[in-house]
Amino acid sequence: MAAGLKIAVIGGGSSYTPEIVEGFIRNYEQMPIRELWFVDIEEGKHKLEIVGNLAKRMVKESGLPIEVHLTLDRRQAIAGADFVTTQMRVGLLAARKQDEHIPIMHGVIGQETTGPGGMLKALRTVPVILDICRDIEELAPNAWMLNFTNPAGIVTEAVAKHSKVKSVGLCNSPINFQKFLAAEYGVSEKDVLAEFVGINHLHWVTSAIVNGEEKMPELLDGGKSYTAKNVPTFGWDADFIRSLGAIPTYYLKYFYMTDTMLADMKASLEKDGTRADVVSRVEQELFELYKDENLAEKPKQLEQRGGAYYSEAAVNLMTSIYNDRHDIQTLNVSNGNIYDFLPADASIEINCVVTGQGPIPLVPQKVPSHVKGLMHAVKVYEQLTIEAAITGDRGIALQALVHHPLVPSVTVAKQLLDEMLEANKKYLPAFFKPEAVL
């Protein structure tokens, strides 16, 4: 890569954008950016202008020679880029609201990255991501695409299977755990190393090393856990955690504590709405702050958004690839032969050594036998979902939904599929092809 990088941010009107700009500014000495392009669609133009102007003020305040461009022309932004990041939401927050509300009304977990909601988000997103990949193949064939559009594991796997783009998936859950672990022991993040086993939003921490010492038994005995703004903070059962022998990601509460989580979702829906409703209110407040022409830094309120450190993870990865750092980061990459019970082309979330040629996954020390079944079941659902997204085949979509562990029956799956496909008709043309005229 030549000095003076070009970076394209797809979904530049996101409320997260000030965080990634802050990261670029802080890391400029290690990763000199010449051009920073923020891209969005017509429906997001208003937000793009607001957050883009804040980005320009932040760069001006820094005194760095970074050109900031705002555009609705994706191809112009991608052409010649060294890195492309994707942080988009097809259907905007209105679609997320449907993803969460409809399943709850059928007595099923309503969450934007797993279960029926996650599936519909994937069906909307995969075709769009693959369109972006075709632009990258043509206009920036050497670029790295860093995806933290959810469901990140499904999207990353679809890109690996159906494009030639060099891509890596990212999630903020691993970096959140690293920060939790460092804070718990009062040390620098450089002094901790956690081992992650699993797939995106379905992982377990099986080792937690602090200053060279294994702390997992201590953490398990103390009932320690970590969470995020977008997941309720119900505690784990202490006996269960000790016998599990690992710390589960907070997303596993939807699988291990389904009744409690569903009851909370139902109560929230009746009272204040789901997380989508909360995020909508938070975003309105954030964009009002972003409009302030005197604001030239990331506001603290952004941490309430629920995706804290996504952008830090992305900037860390870019910097490591650019500088061939050989440091360890937790990423979504293809399985290869890491897990013999998953296909080689399955996307997994695992520690990797990051080199200038990309991430090299590290074989975990141990994989608890009692988590393999859940990993395999959810991976089958994910692979069927990718196939359904590309083909528009309702039968395959039904099989994906039926075989997700959070869906209780074929009857409920069929009801959900029909209702949610119809609600997303605008974004799913492959499922609504006109009948051939004989």
Strands 247-248 and 33-39: unpaired
Q: Which two tokens stand for residue 187?
A: 């040390």
Average pLDDT over the chain reads: 93
**From residue 257, how far is each of 240, 286, 300, 369 by CA, in Å?**
11, 32, 32, 20
Is residue 240, in this structure, part of any structural domain at all? no
Give the number of other Cβ atoms within 10 Å of residue 384's Cβ.
21
> Using one digit for the tens of pLDDT, what is the confidence trace for 190-248?
999 999 999 999 999 999 999 999 999 999 987 556 554 545 546 888 899 999 999 99
Q: Is residue 247 within 8 Å of 220, Cβ to Cβ?
A: yes
Is residue 399, in this structure, part of any structural domain at all? yes
Q: How confident is the model at residue 436 (pLDDT cuts 50, 70, 90)?
A: very low
Is residue 393, in this structure, part of any structural domain at all? yes
Is residue 413, in this structure, part of any structural domain at all? yes
Matching residue, tokens 């860093």 = 146
Is residue 58, in this structure, part of any structural domain at all? no
- pTM of this prediction? 0.94
Q: How confident is the model at residue 1 (pLDDT cuts 50, 70, 90)?
A: low
Q: What's the start-to-end Cα distance of the chain, in Å?
A: 54
Give the number of other Cβ atoms within 10 Å of residue 328's Cβ.
16
Annotated binding residues for substrate, as ranges? 96, 150
Is residue 388, in this structure, part of any structural domain at all? yes
Per-residue pLDDT, averaged over 111-117, amounts to 95
pLDDT: is 304 or 302 the higher one?
Answer: 302
Helix (H/G/I), strand (E/B), else coil: 330: strand
Annotated binding residues, as ranges? 96, 150, 171, 201
Is residue 384, in this structure, part of any structural domain at all? yes
Could you tell me how many residues make up the chain? 438
Annotated binding residues for Mn(2+), as ranges? 171, 201
Range from 175-179, 371-375, 397-401 carrying the lowest mean pLDDT: 175-179
Rounded CA-CA distance 183/360 in Å is 28
Range from 112-121, 311-320, 334-343 carrying the lowest mean pLDDT: 311-320
pLDDT at 129 over 50: yes
Helix (H/G/I), strand (E/B), else coil: 227: coil
* Number of domains within the chain: 1
pLDDT at 391 over 60: yes
Query: Which residues constitute the domain of residue 403?
Result: 375-426
Matching residue, tokens 């090393």 = 209
Is residue 188, in this structure, part of any structural domain at all? no
254 is catalytic: no
Which residue among the candidates 16, 226, 250, 251 is catalytic per the annotation?
251
pLDDT: is 421 or 301 the higher one?
Answer: 421
Give the number of other Cβ atoms within 10 Å of residue 281's Cβ.
12
pLDDT of residue 3: 65
Q: Which two tokens stand for residue 373?
A: 């079944």
